[in-house]
Homo-oligomer: A and B are copies of this chain.
């Protein structure tokens, strides 16, 4: 038995997303978030199927926003929130068969520093999706991990961050080496690169998928700033050192020039539950262009607008140069980042078959 986690840029069967509704994540009854999610769903559906998990309470809204969309399939399943990257399975090849890894999920830190008080529904989602799509489930629920904390280049190289995977809220009983062995074994890598840091103020304890992403085997984009006064400066510099030492080819992908922060107006729109991590006005959000998503034909790229129009264009130009064969689809993502993550965090790819790859539509 040998597993292999394909790279996100390898062919997909489809993409899993969750229709948002949690009022502690999405201000003003998630109405804006729902619109932006629906736009992303339709964009991805140009290239592949999209499986959208919908809480029964918001089914009518989802149906209205997605009416007439081809390749979009709705599934009634209750969830706690809408981060498919972290709560859906991580799909791997076991030989040629696709299987879904069901990791333990504890809302990014459980009792230690988790972001909400209850996460049973989110923790049950991966099993429902494996069954739902007809893939065997690999039971790893004893090991806490979110999909956003790992990346694979599909050719033997894996990446994660120390700040997240070694955080006491995940698997404190395990050594770094033991954690590494689990990842190499289950994701099929030959090497695991440990970056020390994520994006500043990222409440996931610094997921890899917000700071660094593969664009090809052994090649990455890294969230970056040249501004020495920015709290991102040192973390990115140290990550770069590790990547260069490991022989990884690095392209810098600068973060927004102007910090993206929660406004007073947005703050009034949230409804927090007891035990849930809350926001404050002026709080800096973990905005990064690295949190894009590869579909079969495109890069869906976050944009932050306003004073960051120039940074937005710069990021799009860098991604176009790195991915000349894909459409670069810029998406105004303010209404996603206020929830704490971005486009990569709300998507999870389902790989296509290994040996009999899609030739593309007829």
Q: Are A359 and B70 in contact (CB under 8 A)?
A: no
Residue from B62, B67, B355, B360 within 8 A of A132 (CB atoms): B355
CB contacts (< 8 Å) of A128 on chain B: these are 355-356
Q: Mark A217-247, 1 if CB is under 8 A from B, else 0.
A: 0000000000000000000000000000000
Q: Are B52 and A131 in contact (CB under 8 A)?
A: no
Q: Are A98 and B134 in contact (CB under 8 A)?
A: yes
* Shortest distance from the beta carbon of A15 to any chain B beta carbon, whole Å: 14
**What residue of chain B has the Cβ atom nearest to residue A351's Cβ?**
B134
Q: Are B353 and A97 in contact (CB under 8 A)?
A: no
Q: Are B74 and A359 in contact (CB under 8 A)?
A: yes
Q: Are B359 and A75 in contact (CB under 8 A)?
A: yes
**What residue of chain B has the Cβ atom nearest to residue A355's Cβ?**
B131
Q: Are B98 and A135 in contact (CB under 8 A)?
A: yes
Q: Are B73 and A131 in contact (CB under 8 A)?
A: no
Docked CA distance A135–B355 (Å): 11
CB contacts (< 8 Å) of A134 on chain B: these are 13, 93, 96-98, 135, 351-354
Q: Are A356 and B75 in contact (CB under 8 A)?
A: yes
Docked CA distance A80–B74 (Å): 39
Given A128-B356, A129-B356, A130-B96, A362–B69 Cβ distance below 8 Å? yes
From 324 to 362 in chain A, residues with beta carbon under 8 angstroms from any chain B beta carbon are 351-362
Chain A binding surface SS class: mixed
* Shortest distance from the beta carbon of A295 to any chain B beta carbon, whole Å: 16
**What residue of chain B has the Cβ atom nearest to residue A68's Cβ?**
B362
**What residue of chain B has the Cβ atom nearest to residue A62's Cβ?**
B362
A195 part of interface (Cβ distance < 8 Å)? no
From 129 to 143 in chain A, residues with beta carbon under 8 angstroms from any chain B beta carbon are 129-137
Residue from B66, B129, B132 within 8 A of A357 (CB atoms): B132
Residue from B66, B75, B131, B360 within 8 A of A354 (CB atoms): B131
Q: Are B135 and A356 in contact (CB under 8 A)?
A: no
By CB atoms of chain B within 10 A, which of A68, A93, A97, A354 has the most?
Answer: A97
From 65 to 86 in chain A, residues with beta carbon under 8 angstroms from any chain B beta carbon are 66-77
Docked CA distance A206–B75 (Å): 41
Docked CA distance A354–B75 (Å): 12
Q: Mark A78-113, 1 if CB is under 8 A from B, else 0.
A: 000000000000000110111000000000000000
A63 part of interface (Cβ distance < 8 Å)? yes
Residue from B77, B135, B361 within 8 A of A97 (CB atoms): B135
Given A97-B136, A136-B97, A136-B136, A359–B73 Cβ distance below 8 Å? yes
CB contacts (< 8 Å) of A75 on chain B: these are 356, 358-359
By CB atoms of chain B within 10 A, which of A52, A77, A130, A133 has the most?
Answer: A133
Given A77-B356, A356-B77, A361–B72 Cβ distance below 8 Å? yes
Docked CA distance A266–B354 (Å): 41
Docked CA distance A356–B133 (Å): 7
CB contacts (< 8 Å) of A70 on chain B: these are 70-71, 361
Docked CA distance A96–B356 (Å): 23
Q: Which residues of A pack against B, CB within 8 Å?
A: 13, 49, 52, 62-63, 66-77, 93-94, 96-98, 128-137, 351-362
Q: What are 7 A-B pairs with beta-carbon distances under 8 A? A: A72-B362, A73-B359, A74-B360, A77-B356, A94-B136, A133-B356, A136-B136
